[in-house]
Chain A
């Protein structure tokens, strides 16, 4: 197999068989490591899957994590279609959290939920977009590489938020690095609550209406990227900048708007975390969600369907992994990160590793 040679696999096999094989390979190596530290791989796998999907609460948590990953995954994919590698999801979520909190500080004492929810959603998107705008602007007008600037903006966001938490946001006399609790008007309706409206009894989990927003975003993403003028410009700039100029597109503008689009999508993850779950902003609420988004987009091949599936995988790993580490003290949280790393390695970097081996199976008879 030489680089650049057209793939000999049919498209459906490229999209299903290869990712599955990659996933299995990652799991196999994990199993080996688990066995080496003296645990039973099969039992651990059962605990992991059982923790993620085996009971109502588990499923709720899995889907809650999935929701966040869909947002950051879409964010990375949006930028990627414009040829930009947005590493800055983490910082964008963080700053979006600030936007959500400020909106709550300002209005949650008197505004009803009907206005509060849309307002906080807008605030998260606006702040996320604003934080992504600057790297986008620097890339488009000054040629500063987006990877470098978005990483730097993550650090700037972390430093800024650290300062704000310690000096401004922390409750007076409190020891918790978090804001005050926000009024109920700003809460996203939880799944348990919404189930109640329909007469269903659902377990108490942080899963909330953000999941539906995430799914709507997936559909909109698909429409915008593949079926609108602006998406056409986005993809053209991303694949062939010269052709974009030829077609009269304003490349800098597309780059900047693409980054804002990406930032706004990432920002929505803050709504899921803050208004869906904790109802206050904790200093560590982002917890690597922006970085997992990179893996989600990579594995989901920047397509909403793929992103939903891979977000579900990473959501299940996060939830099942937490359960597993409670049951098996030998298997720490780091182990779960190790598995995630292996999946990224196999699905991203070694994407076509197995292609030459399975290609003969699909070869048409001459």
Chain B
């Protein structure tokens, strides 16, 4: 048996009413890749934050290399050889890779001596683990995958023996994710310990040696990866049988509801973000747009939803050009009136106001509707009734419409948005990342709803960076790269690898 790198015993942590970790015990062995999985809000991130010194546990002990330790802040953690790669990178964009890596650990009185020493060290690290990062590149100009490697280098430079990665593949292409996994394996083979927090089951199966499953703040399983499959883990995470397949009947799509012609978009500097986009969505059809994030899908959705003005092109809805209804820019409110609803990619920034109650969020964008007004004031009873109806129809929990949206889990927040947007019975639904940061139980419900809407004859345009989701839901798949549509594949012929090539290949 390998040596124990980290041992957590009886960790307990509360935030007010929320019991984030209940008596969690966990052993991480040196030289292994350890996965921690669980639904959103299961307490994975809290646990790792305790290990990294962001929070203090209410009770429980931490041992690093069999020595009991107190980790009061991240400095303590770094000193103990624990490094963390955050989901949102902590990098200075206009500094070079080298400068970012020495940041906070400059050494020496002059910057140059520190940088020179770092350069040599960095070269060694680059070689050892196949990181392939140019030390003089400006971080802001690097792709996301490379920025992540800079974060890894930062941790290693500080002497990390244990590397914690929080949702590392959320922003990567399948190819980039594979490269990351190669790096992680190299790290393991050199005796480092890697902990990855994730909710993607496939990755867990691919890359980890051991898995800890968490649910509602507790550890519900500790298994060797080789002994389990995806379904086992999903069941453990959710605590019941989960159907990962989306059941979908074949259906012949009807008339063209949304016809996008020659749409292009230039930013202020004249860079073309969208180039001559043409697509059609028919009634009773889900058209999926696959692509690595940052290749124009987000912009396309924003343009169609009236959040960004298109530079050129037409958006025909039942034959009427919505771009030219009032001037050149369709307002989101007019689009909604016409029957184009939008479930935005960034739920917490666009779709919701987190500090508002659930019932207030249930009218966002529909706050002019007559049935909720009484004179010049809102009819509060009607508002709350509406929210209660959403809560019941979509199984939103907790069921209190007076709670602030921010108190709900990601999945339940998304259900509020979904309920609101489809309540007005739109003909076209623009859907962005419907299950980003959403737990498995809710994913199932959201997917079923989307398929149901399709069966009712709605036209759905789905943008997602989750290939599995695109494959499971779409009737037709379009691939975007570099602001263009680079390929179209009927869903039944599509495979993850095939799409992955289209997504990455054309881009470079």
The answer on a CB contact under 8 Å between A246 and B378 is: no
CB distance from A14 to the nearest CB of B (A): 12
Interface-lining segment among A3-11, A84-92, A160-168: A3-11
Given A232-B367, A247-B367, A248-B365; A239-B353 close (CB under 8 Å): yes
Chain B residue at smallest Cβ distance from A8: B16
Contact A240 B15 (CB under 8 A): no
User: Considering the chains assembled together, what is the distance between the CA atoms of A247 and B351 in angstroms?
Assistant: 8
Given the complex of chains A and B, what is the CA–CA distance between A235 and B367 in angstroms?
A: 13
Please, which residue of chain B has its CB at the minimum distance from the CB of A245?
A: B307
CA A5 – CA B14 in complex, angstroms?
A: 11
- Asked if B336 lies at the interface with its beta carbon under 8 angstroms from chain A, I say yes
Tell me whether A5 and B15 are in contact in the complex, defined as CB-CB below 8 angstroms, given that A227-B380, A239-B355 are known contacts: yes
For B331, B353, B356, B380, the residue with the greatest tally of chain A CB atoms inside 10 Å of its CB is B353
Q: How many residues does chain B have at the interface if contact means C-beta atoms less than 8 Å apart?
A: 36
Find B364's partner among A2, A7, A8, A236 (CB 8 Å cutoff).
Answer: A236
Among residues of B, the one whose C-beta sits closest to the C-beta of A223 is B377
A248 — which chain B residues lie within 8 A by C-beta?
A: 306, 331-334, 336, 365
Complex Cα spacing A223 to B376, Å: 10
For residue B367, which residues in chain A have a CB less than 8 angstroms away from its CB? 229, 232-233, 247
Chain B residues in 8 Å Cβ range of A8: 15-16
B349–A242 touching, CB < 8 Å: yes
In the assembled complex, the Cα of A245 lies from the Cα of B349 at a distance in Å of: 11
Q: How far is the CB of B99 from chain A (nearest CB, A)?
A: 27
> How far, in angstroms, from A236 to B363 measured CA to CA in the complex?
11
Per-position binary interface string of chain A over residues 231-260, scored 1 when its CB falls under 8 Å from any chain B CB and 0 otherwise: 011011001101101111100000000000
Q: Fill in one digit per residue for B330-360: 1 if any A CB lies within 8 Å of its CB, else 0.
A: 0111101000001010100111111110001
Which residue of B14, B15, B332 contacts A247 across the interface (Cβ within 8 Å)?
B332
Q: How near does chain A come to B385, taking the closest CB pair, in angstroms? A: 16
**Chain A interfacial residues counted at CB < 8 A:** 24
Give complex CA distance A246, B364 in Å: 9
- A332 on the B face (CB < 8 A): no
User: Does B368 lie at the interface of the complex (its beta carbon under 8 Å from any beta carbon of A)?
Assistant: yes
User: Of residues A2, A249, A364, which shows the largest number of chain B Cβ atoms within 10 Å of its Cβ?
Assistant: A249
How many inter-chain residue pairs (CB < 8 Å) link A and B? 73
Q: Which residue of A lies closest to B406 (CB)?
A: A6
B35 to chain A, nearest CB (A): 27
B348, chain A: closest CB distance, angstroms: 9
A228 at the binding interface (Cβ < 8 Å): yes
Task: Give B299-326 as 1s and 0s: 1 = Cβ < 8 Å from A's Cβ atoms.
Answer: 0000001110000000000000000000
Complex interface residues of chain B between 365 and 422 (CB less than 8 A to chain A): 365, 367-368, 373, 376-378, 380
Contacts A243-B352, A248-B365 hold; do A227 and B377 have CB atoms under 8 A apart?
yes
Within 8 A of B (CB), among A179-224: 223
| Cross-interface CB contact of B368 among A5, A227, A229, cutoff 8 Å | A229
What distance in Å separates the Cβ of B51 from its nearest Cβ neighbour in chain A?
Answer: 16
Residues in A with CB closer than 8 Å to B350 are: 242-243, 245-246
In the complex, the answer to whether A247 meets B377 with C-beta atoms within 8 Å is no
Is B54 an interface position by the 8 A CB rule?
yes
Checking A5, A223, A229, A243 against B349 with a beta-carbon cut-off of 8 angstroms, the contacting residue is A243
- A6–B354 Cα distance when bound, in Å, is 14
A239-B355, A242-B350, A245-B307 known; A2+B331 contact, CB < 8 A: no
B55 within 8 A of A: yes
**Residues in chain A near residue B307, CB distance under 8 A:** 245-246
Q: A229-B378, A242-B350, A243-B350 are in contact. List 16 more A-B contacts (CB 8 A).
A: A6-B15, A8-B15, A227-B378, A228-B376, A229-B368, A236-B356, A239-B355, A239-B356, A240-B352, A243-B353, A245-B307, A246-B365, A247-B364, A248-B331, A248-B336, A249-B333
Pairs A–B under 8 Å by Cβ, sample size 28: A5-B15, A6-B15, A6-B16, A7-B16, A227-B378, A228-B377, A228-B378, A229-B368, A229-B373, A229-B378, A232-B378, A233-B367, A235-B356, A236-B353, A236-B356, A239-B356, A240-B352, A240-B353, A242-B349, A245-B307, A246-B305, A246-B342, A246-B350, A246-B365, A247-B333, A248-B333, A248-B334, A364-B17
Chain B interface (Cβ < 8 Å from any Cβ of A): 14-17, 54-55, 305-307, 331-334, 336, 342, 344, 346, 349-356, 360, 363-365, 367-368, 373, 376-378, 380
